[in-house]
Amino acid sequence: MASIQKRGENRWRLVAELGYDAQGKRVQERKTIIVDDPSLLRAPRRLQNYLDAELLKFQMEVEAGHYIRPEKLTFEAFIEIWINKFVEVELQEKTKVSYKFHAERRIVPFFRTMHMDKIKTMHITDYLDYLRTPEASLNRDGKPLGSATIVYNYRVLRSIFAKAVEWRVLKDNPMTGVKKPREDDIKEMEYYDEKEIELLFMALEDEPIQLRLQVTLAVTTGMRRAEMAGLEWKNIDLVNGVIDIKQTVTMFKDGAPVIKGPKNKQSKRRIALAPAVIDEMKLYRTEWAKMKLQLGDKWTAGDSEFLFCRTSGEPSDPERLTKRWISFHRKHDLKPIRLHDLRHTSVSWMVFKKVHSEAIAKRVGHTNTKMLQIYAHIFDSVDQAAADVFDGMVIPAKKKA
């Protein structure tokens, strides 16, 4: 008969019965559980109900053949549990995709059949060393992984084994003592300087209004790509010239946009528009309305009115915004920077124009002004302007004489 045995102050052993074997020996499975909730420990009846429920669940798992002893749990089997109980439940869509990709394509093939309790710190360091070899590359060219990818794998491993300890599959975490790999090939932030900005807007003059507005918004508002993809006309007040950032489109999953709130509390913000940008938006509003009218029944997005949208009315895939930008800067032979670097250009220009750091941080949705320190060196003329304020303060010795 299934039973519960007290093994300590907050520890109990569950015993599930499976009858008798061919030799008449009783077949049992045992599992130890720990109750950490003080309020539960102080309420005997509630505690007993909880233990009874855990015992019934354990007995059913054993009878159904679903229970696996932690010491017999393979890494591959645990990853399936980790994905279903943590990745799919707690992570954002883009992070889900990344975690699952690295776990299934890189990490599982390395540890696949090892039992969880047999994986030691040395195995983790061996894996990180393996990532630095050409064999770890999933590209046809066999180019070694960048340090950022290796660090990302470290983060995924840390999550896997932290959950293994939290769920008491493991007593000790093999990640303890494993240092985070160095990121020694981080790509420096890029931006357009004054002359490059001038070339950019000259190149935009004869481009379609949709592309023109996309690039203009990126430079003049510092919006993130996901914020531009999630922008609807209802979020824009053309009379007062402001944009409210209330939602983002981070990616597409199974052909549908993943629409969520801003990145953080500061990201939900109001951005003022320059008069020239308001004029561009009014022009685009007219063109956009004509396009929607012409689409007729093809418009299936209901009341949604995304600025940058597909012919169905659904928002543009953020990747599409990136591809549009790449095609544009290649066409005009502009310096090749990322779409996100237009956001850096926006901040850099405000630094150049001596806008207060608090105002810049609020405008672009930075959590604090410390993020702006990386922009201080952007334009040589900023430093020169700082030097010029001291002109006249120092009187040369010859003039003093």
Convert the pLDDT of each residue in 112-159 to its tens digit: 999 998 999 999 999 999 999 888 887 777 788 888 899 999 999 999
Residue 182 domain-assigned (yes or no): no
Phi, psi angle pair for 145, to nearest 5°: -70, 145
Helix, strand, coil percentages (3-state) for the chain, rounded to 5, are: 55, 10, 35
Cβ–Cβ under 8 Å, residues 274 and 342: no
Task: Calculate ∠ Cα 11-14-15, nearest 5°.
Answer: 145
- Residue 105's domain is classified under what CATH number? 1.10.150.130
Mean per-residue pLDDT, 49-63: 83
Mean per-residue pLDDT, 256-260: 86
Same domain (yes/no): 271, 378: yes
DSSP 187-233: PPP----HHHHHHHHHHHTTS-HHHHHHHHHHHHH---HHHHHT-BG
Same domain (yes/no): 121, 25: no
The three-state secondary structure class of 304 is coil
Greater pLDDT, 201 or 65: 201
Same domain (yes/no): 108, 131: yes
Single residue among 67, 90, 111 that ends a domain in this structure: 67
Mean per-residue pLDDT, 13-37: 82
Residue 172 domain-assigned (yes or no): no
Q: How confident is the model at residue 70 (pLDDT cuts 50, 70, 90)?
A: low
Mean pLDDT over each residue of the chain, to the nearest integer? 86
Same domain (yes/no): 261, 366: yes
Same domain (yes/no): 247, 324: yes
Same domain (yes/no): 153, 205: no
Structural domain count, the chain? 3
Residue 186 domain-assigned (yes or no): no
Single residue among 67, 88, 117 that ends a domain in this structure: 67
Cβ–Cβ under 8 Å, residues 209 and 287: yes
Residue 286 has what pLDDT? 95
Neighbours of 35 (CB within 10 A): 15
Same domain (yes/no): 229, 361: yes
Same domain (yes/no): 331, 221: yes
The three-state secondary structure class of 365 is coil
Same domain (yes/no): 351, 217: yes
Residue 395 domain-assigned (yes or no): no
**pLDDT exceeds cutoff 90 at 57:** no
Residue 377 has what pLDDT? 53
Same domain (yes/no): 107, 143: yes
Q: Which domain holds residue 118?
A: 72-166
β-partners of residue 41 are none
Residue 171 domain-assigned (yes or no): no
Same domain (yes/no): 235, 122: no
The three-state secondary structure class of 245 is coil
Residue 51 domain-assigned (yes or no): yes
Single residue among 123, 146, 166 that ends a domain in this structure: 166
Tokens 């990616």 correspond to 251
Same domain (yes/no): 157, 258: no
Residue 87 domain-assigned (yes or no): yes
* Residues counted in the chain: 401
Residue 176 domain-assigned (yes or no): no
Convert the pLDDT of each residue in 181-236 to its tens digit: 987 755 667 889 889 999 999 999 999 999 999 999 999 999 999 999 999 999 99
For 176, counting Cβ atoms within 10 Å of its Cβ (0-12 exposed, 13-18 middle, 19+ buried), the class is exposed
